[in-house]
């Protein structure tokens, strides 16, 4: 596909099914003063064979209306073949993709990086907006942009949450009413762990009791770890790191994280 050559653009890549998290990215992009382009593309390359591609929520007309209400100038909503027809090149970011979501979802980040690179080449944005909600994705894209000298500035924005703390996610729609009631405990557990780590508690003990308390609430925990914000390796530190969690409630896999900065900053 030929590049669209929109000059001077702020770009928000998404998979649609918009919630306030997406709309926040659009509004912040708008503040940049440039025309805003939002892509709406449920990227098949980032879904594993056993994952939820076919049941991923889709509502294009609602998404178009919501984007327009945020002042978005262009929506790019390609049909899958436009971006996936040529699959002879794939971008693999080493290291950062090995653990966590990369381990749970083999090939996921290759799919993300390849499609984000293609979107960057089509939209040619000056600046692109992503959410810290997908912390590992942010670091993977930053590494790709740095290593491939891509001429785009990246902005990462904080997670938008429901009033009870649950991180907004298109996948929250899969939760049963009972699971939806339990789901905020994910963030509450992150907050408790963060407070305890800042209060100098033993970090291994904090991580262990966090995992236990989530399991007691009905979560099947994939990981609950403290990792370096530099390389995502487990670390025992009290700043420049992040608590990351992935856990299943029923069939729904939820992820969340909390970055730890030193209390005095």
Annotated catalytic residues are 22
Give yes or no for residue 21 binding ligand AMP (CB under 6 A): yes
Cβ closest to ligand AMP, residue 20 vs residue 178: 20
Cβ closest to ligand AMP, residue 97 vs residue 159: 159
Q: Give the C-alpha separation, 17 to 2, whole Å.
A: 27
Q: Give the C-alpha separation, 28 to 36, whole Å.
A: 10
- Of the candidates 225, 239, 10, 229, the one whose C-alpha atom is nearest the C-alpha of residue 130 is 10
Give yes or no for residue 118 binding ligand AMP (CB under 6 A): no
Smallest distance from ligand AMP to CB 204, Å: 29
Cα–Cα distances (Å) from 8 to 116, 125, 128, in that order, read 18, 6, 11
- The answer to whether 219 and 248 are in contact (CB under 8 A) is yes
Cβ closest to ligand AMP, residue 159 vs residue 252: 159
Give yes or no for residue 134 binding ligand AMP (CB under 6 A): yes
Give yes or no for residue 41 binding ligand AMP (CB under 6 A): no
Q: What share of the chain is helix, strand, coil (3-state, %, to 5)?
A: 40, 20, 40
| CB atoms near residue 238 (< 10 Å) | 18
Give yes or no for residue 169 binding ligand AMP (CB under 6 A): yes
Q: Which stretch binds ligand AMP (CB under 6 A): 13-21, 49-57, 178-186, 217-225?
A: 13-21
- Of the candidates 261, 189, 198, the one whose C-alpha atom is nearest the C-alpha of residue 225 is 189
Cβ closest to ligand AMP, residue 179 vs residue 203: 179
Residues at the interface with ligand AMP (CB under 6 A): 14-15, 21-22, 24-25, 130-131, 133-134, 157, 159-160, 167-170
């Amino acid at each position: 596909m030929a590049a669209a050559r929109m000059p001077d653009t702020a770009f928000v890549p998404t998979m649609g099914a918009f919630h306030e998290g997406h709309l926040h990215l659009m509004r912040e992009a708008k503040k940049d003063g440039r025309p805003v382009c939002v892509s709406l593309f449920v990227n098949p390359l980032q879904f594993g064979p056993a994952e939820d591609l076919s049941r991923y929520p889709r509502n294009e007309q609602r998404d178009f209306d919501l984007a327009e209400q945020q002042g978005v100038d262009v929506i790019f909503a390609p049909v899958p073949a436009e971006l996936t027809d040529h699959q002879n090149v794939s971008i693999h970011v080493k290291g950062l993709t090995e653990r966590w979501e990369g381990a749970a979802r083999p090939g996921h980040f290759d799919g993300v990086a390849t499609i984000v690179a293609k979107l960057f080449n089509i939209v040619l944005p000056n600046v692109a907006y992503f959410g810290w909600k997908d912390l590992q994705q942010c670091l993977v894209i930053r590494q790709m942009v740095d290593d491939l000298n891509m001429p785009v500035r990246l902005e990462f924005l904080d997670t938008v949450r429901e009033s009870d703390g649950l991180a907004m996610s298109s996948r929250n729609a899969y939760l049963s009413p009972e699971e939806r009631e339990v789901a905020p405990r994910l963030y509450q557990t992150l907050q408790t762990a963060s407070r305890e780590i800042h209060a100098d508690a033993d970090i291994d003990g904090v991580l262990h009791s966090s995992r236990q308390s989530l399991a007691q609430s009905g979560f099947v925990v994939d990981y609950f770890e403290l990792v370096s914000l530099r390389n995502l390796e487990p670390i025992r530190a009290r700043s420049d790191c992040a608590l990351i969690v992935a856990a299943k409630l029923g069939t729904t896999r939820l992820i969340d994280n909390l970055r730890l900065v030193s209390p005095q900053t």
